[in-house]
Structure formats: C-alpha cells, structure tokens
Structure 1
Amino acid sequence: MIRRALSIAGSAARGGAGIQADLKTFQELGVFGTTAVTAIVARNPRTGEGIFPQSIDAIEAQVYTVLRDIGADAIKTGMLFTEEIITKTAGWIKESSVKHVVVDPVMIGKIGSVLLKEDAIESMKKELLPLATIITPNMPEAAQLLGASELLTIEDLKLAAKELHGLGPAYVLVKGGRLDGPAVDVLYDGQQFYMFEAPRIDTIHTNGAGCTYSAAITAELAKGSTVPEAVEHAKKFITAAIRHSFGFKQGVGPTFHAAYGMYDETACKTWVEEK
C-alpha cells in the first residue's frame, strides 16, 4: 500500500512554498499527499492584503475527510497562524493516533510576512511541540521560540536544540541555512547530536526551502525511515532543489522539487556527536 502524508498548512499562490511545496515533495518521494488548508497566502496588489485565514470549520472538515477516507502515516504542520488553529490542530493530532508528526514552526515568510501571530507562540510551545516526532525551526524561528537573541554559530544551534528538546519533541532539527560557511543542520535526540553538512549554494531563490525540507522528512518517516535517516535523505533532497532553483518575473524564486530525481547529487556529510 502506498504511504500517505497529510500537510496541515497554508496555501501559497506562488507555488513554491506551503502545501504546494509539500505536495510536490511528497510526489517526488513516492508518497501520496493530502492537505488541510489553514490559510491562503497571496498578496493582493490592489489592497495589499496577503493572508486569508480559513475558518475552523473548513479546516476541521478537511482534516476529518482525509483521516476518515484516506488515513495518514505521517502528519506535517506548517503555517497555522492563530492560537485557535494551533489548539484545534493539536487536538486533531491527538485523536488521529498517527505515529509521526513533523512540526515546522512557520513564523515569517521570505518577503517578511508574519505567518504566526505573537499570541500563538506560547500555544505552539505548550500544545503542539510536545506532540512532535521532530520539529524543524530555522535559526530565527529557534531564537523566537526560546525568546533568545539571534543564533550565530554551530554551538548556538546545539544549545538551542537542547533547550527546544526540553519543550517535549522527540527530536529537534535546527537548520543552519543562515550560518557562514557550509550549510550545517543540527539534529538532537536528547542524547546525541547528528550533524548534516552540505555545500552552501549562492542563490537568493530559496522560496519554500523550509517547507520542502520538512515535507521530505515527513515523506521519509511515512515510508518507515528512522528520524536521522529521514533527515539525511531530506537534506540531500533540499540541497539538490536549492542548487537548481530559479527565478520568475519578480521576488524570491522557488526551489526545484524535481531536481533530486533528475540529477545524481547526494552531497551531504553526516556525523554524530555526543552531547
């Protein structure tokens, strides 16, 4: 039977992030993708308005339809935006008994859009993070979750991963996309650190990179990989996608989700360190 993954996240009209990125990633990795749209993100050039949250009833109907009719081997959460959506999502996850939950704590978009309201951060920490198999914050998100100053070094990432692990997730992956030098991500399981390093790629076109990375982890967990295996595979997937990213008429362009399958590129150095 084909494995199934559910993304509870925002819809990104540009196609490079959100559920659009998740579905493309699931497809590329051989997993059947389903979605529950929490909000529509599309900047209206006439009004300037850019985020259109969906009603709780609409989100709930999507979640229950997927879980009742199709089921899920893994659930990923992305943009949840409000405290109420976070609380409801935590409840639905508990009811589902799905084995693997990937929480991507989406907070700020590539163009600076606020994708998580300030009063929702505590709800995410208390209600959603403890349910996670793995959480995947980038450096600014990790700092914001901890109420800390910015992270600058790999040692900062390790310390942040240890603190975030104390909030309840089984694994914490702090992504080092904003580090100087190679792109090093730190995975922590409460006992040891797993380090994943790939060459830094000189491009501005990384729209949806975080969504794609966490979706690839979700797909691999749905297929039965361990968490470190899933992260290593996903790191290779996103590195290829960034290497072959591209731009359109304006703004930050998307990563290329088909790149991993089209090109033989497996650049990822992995090692384990005790805490």
Structure 2
Amino acid sequence: MTIPKAMTIAGSDSGGGAGIQADLKTFQELGVFGTSAITAITAQNTLGVQGVYPLPLEAIGQQIDSVLSDIGTDAVKTGMLFSANIISLVADKLNRYGPYPLVLDPVMIAKGGAALLQQEAVEALRRELLPIATVLTPNVPEACAILGSQEIGSVEQMIEAAKRLHELGPRYVFLKGGHLDGEEAVDVLYDGSEAILYRSPRIRTKHTHGTGCTTASAIAAGLAKGLAVTDAVSEAKRFITAAIASGLEIGKGIGPTHHAALRLSSAK
C-alpha cells in the first residue's frame, strides 16, 4: 500500500496543541503519512510557554537527512524555526533534496505572547525561505512583522499586504484574518494576479491554540495528495473551521482545537 507523505520541520509543543504534535495529528486525519524533524523543544501548556530549548544544528540536520534520504516526502511544512542559523540549515537541506511543495508557516509568537522566532531571524526568513515557498501562511501580526511597517486593519489592507508578501518570492500567500474584528473571519489567498477571499462566520471561542500550525499542515497534506493549491486551501479551511468549532476545554488557559472534529462529524 502506498500513501502520500508529508514532513513537518517545527518545534515540539509539550501540551500537544500546536507544533509537530498538531502537524502529525492533522496529517493522520487527512490521510497522509507524517514524518518530522524537531527544531526546538518547548515546555508549554494552555497557559503559555515556560521554556524554549533549540536543538543543536547537527541534530536538526541529521533528522532531515534521515527522513529525506530514505522515506522522502511529497510536501514539507515548516513551523517554529527560532533562529537564523536554523533557517539557513533548513533552506540548505530543502534545496539539496528538493524541490518539494513547501508550506511556510512563519511562526513568531505563541498564543500567550512568547517569542518563537528571534528578531534577527526575520531577515533570514525573508531571504532564504520565502523565495522557495509554495504557500506562505502568516496571520496578521506575522505579516506585519515580515513587512516591517505594514498596517493591516481591514480586508482591503490584507489584500495589499498579501501582494507585498508575494513580491518576496512565495508562489502563493494565504493571509489569515482571524486577528481582525468583525462577525466574519476573512482569509486571503493571493497567487500574484488574483485574490480569493475565504469567508466564514467568526467562532466565538478562546480555545484556538494551534490554529496556525494546523491550517498550514492541512494545506501541506493537500499538496502531498496532489491537490492544487486552491483545493488544498479549501480542504484546510473546512478542516480548521470544524476543529475550532469543537475546541477542547483542556487545561486552565487557551485550549487546543479538536483535530478529529471533521472526521467525527462526517461519521454521524
């Protein structure tokens, strides 16, 4: 039996709601075999991030070598990369083994406010990974950080920001609007010529830990299965909307999304 494969290169979330844990759950739910290379270990729960411990470059590189030299992959998703040195290493490995469809989730700040990407690493992200990304998946604060001084407070400004981000090299920009106000949550997919808007009712819940990781890994799963980017994004939107609507009340703070929600609702 053959099965599509997707690899996540990201940090570990001990609380299980985000990071490689969320990525692998998403891959499994969407029918893709998941592999991983851990870039950093976080001590983390629903209340926040208590510690960040980047792995040595040798350990990160060897994980990537081990997976790609044997198992291979049909798509790659990157998450928490933390430092400029890790970004350079990952870019080098992907260029050496690839090209692969790459979903780049520019993880910068945890839900509780902890920094997950060093400030000096933002330029390395722009220079080395954005030009090889198939889909860049920032939220509004991440888009502002990448662009430097961009103000994003409306859908029109989201579209303009997506256009500017596209100029940095990714084939597609999927700018998520969950941080904006309004009764609707609006996301923008931009391919260099057309902006597609994805609108959904805003779900009033605090249990949204891991939404960015889950969305990006769902897109990567779709690409691994051979879907076009627009179809992979549509599948990811259905998946994450169900997951948020069924958010789990786990822990004392911001709970995770429910990765099995779409499957369980379909089985009824």
The TM tier, using the shorter chain, reads over 0.9
For 2:209, which of 193, 196, 207 is the aligned residue?
207
Alignment match, 1:220: 222
**What SS does the aligned partner of 1:263 have?**
helix
Contact 2:42 2:50 in 1 (8 A): no
Q: Is the 8 A contact 1:11 1:37 kept in 2?
A: yes
**Does the Cα contact within 8 Å between 1:72 and 1:98 map onto a contact in 2?**
no
Bigger shift: residues 125-134 or 178-187: 178-187
Whole-angstrom distance in 2 between the partners of 1:193 and 1:49: 39
Equivalents in 2 of 1:86, 1:12: separation in Å?
19
Partner of 2:11: 10
Q: Is the 8 A contact 1:4 1:74 kept in 2?
A: yes
Are 1:133 and 2:102 an aligned pair? Answer: no
CA distance in 1, matches of 2:243, 2:50: 30
| Offset, 1:99 | 2.7
RMSD of aligned Cα (Å): 1.4
Counterpart amino acid of 1:164?
A: L
Amino acid at match of 1:201: I
The correspondence for 1:186, drawn from 185, 188, 212, is 188
Residue identity in the other structure for 1:155: E
Partner in structure 2 of residue 269 of structure 1: none
Give the structure 2 partner of residue 260 of structure 1: 262
- Unaligned regions of 5+ residues in structure 1, if any? 266-275
Contact 1:73/1:98 (8 A) holds in 2: no
Task: Give 3-state SS (helix, strand or coil) of 2:7's partner.
Answer: strand
- Quote the residue 2:238 is aligned against: 236
Tell me the equivalent position of 2:33. 32
**Structure 2: how far apart are the matches of 1:7 and 1:94?**
16
TM-score for the superposition, normalised by structure 1: 0.93
| SS of residue paired to 1:118 | coil
Between the aligned partners of 2:150 and 2:129, the Cα distance in structure 1 is 23
CA distance in 2 between counterparts of 1:107 and 1:183 reads 21
Distance in 1 between residues matched to 2:151 and 2:264, nearest whole Å: 37
CA distance in 1, matches of 2:251, 2:211: 19
Taking the aligned partners of 1:134 and 1:21, their CA distance within structure 2 comes to 19
Q: 1:217 to 1:228 in 2, by over 3 A?
A: same
TM-score, reference length from structure 2: 0.95
Q: Which runs of structure 2 are paired with 1:95-174 in the superposition (5 Å)?
A: 95-174=96-175
Contact 1:140 1:150 in 2 (8 A): no
Give the CA deviation at 1:181: 2.2
**SS in structure 1 opposite 2:207?**
coil
Per-residue deviation, 1:150: 3.9
TM-superposed CA distance for 1:43, in Å, is 4.6
Partner of 1:270: none
Letter in 2 for 1:95: R
CA distance in 2, matches of 1:77, 1:137: 12
C-alpha separation in 1, matches of 2:240 and 2:251: 23
Counterpart residue number, 1:87: 88
CA distance in 1, matches of 2:251, 2:102: 36
* Offset from partner CA, 1:228-265 (integer Å, 9 cap, x none): 10001100100000000022231210000000111149
Identity, in percent, stands at 53
- Measured against aligned partners, the alpha-carbon deviations of 1:162-213 in whole angstroms (never above 9, x if no partner) come to 0000000000010010222211110000010111111110100000000000
Q: How many residues get paired?
A: 262
Which consecutive unaligned segments of at least 5 residues does structure 2 have?
none
SS of the residue 2:96 aligns to: helix
SS in 2 for 1:142: helix
Q: Secondary structure at the match of 2:72?
A: coil
Native 8 Å contact 2:10 2:39 kept in 1: yes
